[in-house]
Amino acid sequence: MVVPPFVPPVGPVVGPYRRELALTVSEMGRTRRARLGCAPIYGTHPRAAEACGVLSLAGGNPGSIRLPWRGCPQYYDAVTATATGTWNGRYIRYSRTFSNKCEMYAATGAVFAF
């Protein structure tokens, strides 16, 4: 018997646990915030469906996102991205300072694109 390979879902999967994150992006003394819910999709994130799809493949952890390599200019304009919340019963706490916005988007896709 041939078993087809498991293909992870592209979008959010409705399940018994919450999938909700509070996101922030801080740069040059200002902070932007968004709320992202993925089961069902809701919140203030302007690209919520795309962000939920990327996070679903990474188990809700922005640090586990794997995207194709994308080159960015080599300049320093620090930006810090944070995410806290729950994903399928697990507490998520993520914080990372990137050299610039391009590097943040290259590493996290639409998650912090707000």
Distance CA 6, CA 103 (A): 30
112 against 17, higher pLDDT: 112
Q: Name the region of 101 (left: φ>0; alpha: ψ -120 to 50; beta: rest).
A: alpha
Q: How confident is the model at residue 69 (pLDDT cuts 50, 70, 90)?
A: confident
pLDDT tens figures, 21-51: 999 999 999 999 999 999 899 999 999 999 9
Distance CA 36, CA 15 (A): 16
Entry pTM: 0.82
Q: How confident is the model at residue 6 (pLDDT cuts 50, 70, 90)?
A: very low
Cis peptide before 40 (omega within 30 of 0): yes
Could you tell me the CA-to-CA distances from 3 to 6, 9, 13, 30, 99 in Å, in that order?
Answer: 9, 17, 22, 51, 44
Distance CA 104, CA 9 (A): 24
Secondary structure of 82-99 as H, E, C letters: EEEEEECCEEEEEEEEEC
> Coil, strand or helix: which one is 39?
coil
Q: Which domains does the chain have, with CATH numbers?
A: 19-67+74-112 (3.30.350.10)
**Token couple for 3:** 């078993």
